[in-house]
Structure 1
Amino acid sequence: MSFIKTTEQSSKYEHLEKMSVKELLTNINTEDKTVPLAVEKALSQIEALIEQVIAKMKNGGRLFYIGAGTSGRLGVVDASECPPTFGVDFDTVIGIIAGGDTAIRKAVEFAEDDKNQAWKDLQEWNINKNDVVIGIAASGTTPYVIGGLQKCNENDIITGSISCNAQSPLSQTANYPIDVIVGPEFVTGSSRMKAGTAQKLVLNMISTTTMIALGKVKGNKMVDMQLSNDKLIDRGIRMIMEEIPVTYEVGAELLKTHGSVRKAVDFFKNQV
């Protein structure tokens, strides 16, 4: 099968500048509705990769995301949300973007074209065989990402990928590729739109499913979340009240004393 960049094909909508605001919104929304269906078609691929991630992390391994531009930013976002949401250390899920942290806010020219830099960036984290590296690239052709996965493969490190073109070079490089084929973008080539949404959905699945499997969720609650603001403290207190028969004030004291919903509930239950 030949490789076709559907993410770069011309939009099926013409003369966008002549559309009303309502027409633009309606048409963008129409395209966005197709994304979850594209993700659904890739569920078996997503499952296969997550099984590998869970197995490695249960043995102390880490999960790395590498990407450039929008894809890199999405990886950084997902990784950065794991500590506050699930209470894991900051170096459990790690997002690396071509061009370094500067590229999170401002594009770094040609950073994605260096096929050797990703491996250098990974080595700064002492990457090893216990880890899993997932390359993210909507096009599936980004040299930074492909080069990083190639070096991981050479060093027996499990690799996965998330891309939005079928049979892409990236997918052919990864041990466990995920292909979410979203088709042409509303604005031709603007892969921050449907492709970016698809990548975000898949990343949500990977991190959330993995953390549940690692015991970071109880029932449907984030019992290990970090208590980093008043909203989360209040949520934590109410979670405690749902689990054990205490008042808001007692729940607040338990949470303050023990530092997490899980520890507070376990302490109380061990006392009765």
Structure 2
Amino acid sequence: MELTTEKDSAYTNLHQLPLHDILDNINQEDQTVPKAVRKSLGQIEALATVITAQLRLGGRLFYIGAGTSGRLGILDASECPPTFGVPHELVIGIIAGGDTAIRKAVENAEDDSEQAWKDLLAHQINDHDVVVGIAASGITPYVLGGLKAANTAGIMTGCIVCNAHSPIAEEAKFPVAVVVGPEFLTGSTRMKAGTAQKLVLNMLTTSVMISLGKVEGNKMVDMQLTNNKLYHRGIDMIMKETGTDEKTATDLLNKYGRVRLAIEAIRSAKP
């Protein structure tokens, strides 16, 4: 199949361009990404809906990917516990080549079509879970093999790819294809494709967690208070949501350790 992500850049002689032109052209290309994502909103909604349903059944969300795609999945998964107060085991990112590949490329790891399923089995994956394959090309063997095995086992599957009609999109039950076109630097899918994948991941977990009640109003009431910035944000949230004074908000946050619990305590105390 023809991969648009591998097509030649529309820009030539990059090494001869002034720095300003390089930056301006990259920025111009980047501005096309949100528009491409918007065209896939229906697919994103369908995938978010099934993820929400499976998590309500007690399932988990798994991301599988290689290279940049794998790292983006791990990034999104790692940010869910501090942002939404969920267990680390609820959203799990798995990368071809294991944790070593997070920082350093592992040779040929993405070409093993059987390893993803082995990696998923290590987490005792079951039919309440969801597996989302992330692959800009849509052909990565590690991801494709993992989705095929998951489908055979009756597990819900989705994907985030950046080429139309790819094998991975055809295999996934709930595909998301964001076609961003050729990269500014030919084949460098860490650029527009990576940006598109990050935008979709943001949309998926944020919408799912809102649907699961992890947000109140527009506030992260279940966030973990892991540093001073978040601690003071929590105090401010309590004050704004309940109209209480700073000392009361601080005392209750120290007592309960969670913004949600502090707010509930104040509300329950009111006549």
Q: Which residue of 1 aligns with 2:134?
A: 136
Residue number among 62, 65, 69 corresponding to 2:63 in the alignment: 65
- Give the gaps of 5 or more residues in structure 1: none
Aligned residue in 2 for 1:269? 267
Superimposed CA distance per residue, residues 176-210 of structure 1 (whole angstroms, 9 cap, x where no aligned partner): 11110000000000000000000000000000000
SS at match of 1:240: helix
Deviation at 1:108, TM superposition (A): 0.6
SS state at 1:85 partner: helix
User: Unaligned 5+ residue runs, structure 2?
Assistant: none
- 2:83 is matched with 85
Equivalent in the alignment of 2:106 = 108
- Partner residue, 2:221: 223
What does 1:187-266 correspond to in 2, within 5 Å?
A: 187-266=185-264
Shift of 1:269: 1.0
What is the CA–CA distance in structure 2 between the aligned matches of 1:4 and 1:177, rounded to whole Å?
18
**C-alpha separation between the residues in 2 aligned to 1:82 and 1:96?**
15
CA contact (8 A) 1:4 1:166 kept: no
* Matches of 1:119 and 1:65, distance apart in 2: 12
CA distance in 2, matches of 1:24, 1:133: 38
From 120, 123, 128, the counterpart of 2:121: 123
- In structure 1, C-alpha distance between the alignment counterparts of 2:102 and 2:219, rounded to whole Å: 30
Instruction: State the Cα distance separating 1:246 from its structure 2 match.
Output: 2.0
Offset, 1:248: 1.5
Q: Of 137, 146, 149, which residue of structure 1 is paired with 2:147?
A: 149
Paired residue secondary structure (2:202) = helix
Structure 1 segment 150-165 matched on structure 2, within 5 A? 150-165=148-163
Partners of 2:100 and 2:20 in 1: how far apart?
36
**Equivalent-residue separation in structure 1 for 2:223 and 2:18 (angstroms):** 43
User: 1:244 deviation in Å?
Assistant: 1.4
TM-score (norm 1): 0.98
> Aligned partner of 1:258: which letter?
Y
Identity among equivalent positions (%) equals: 61
Q: What secondary structure is seen at the aligned counterpart in 2 of 1:263? A: helix
For 1:147, the aligned partner's letter is G
Q: Within the alignment, does 1:15 sit opposite 2:13 as a pair?
A: yes
| Equivalent AA in structure 2 for residue 102 of structure 1 | T
Structure 2 letter corresponding to 1:166? A
1:7-45 per-residue CA deviation (whole Å, 9 max, x = no partner) reads 000000001111111101100000000000000000111
1:193 partner amino acid? M
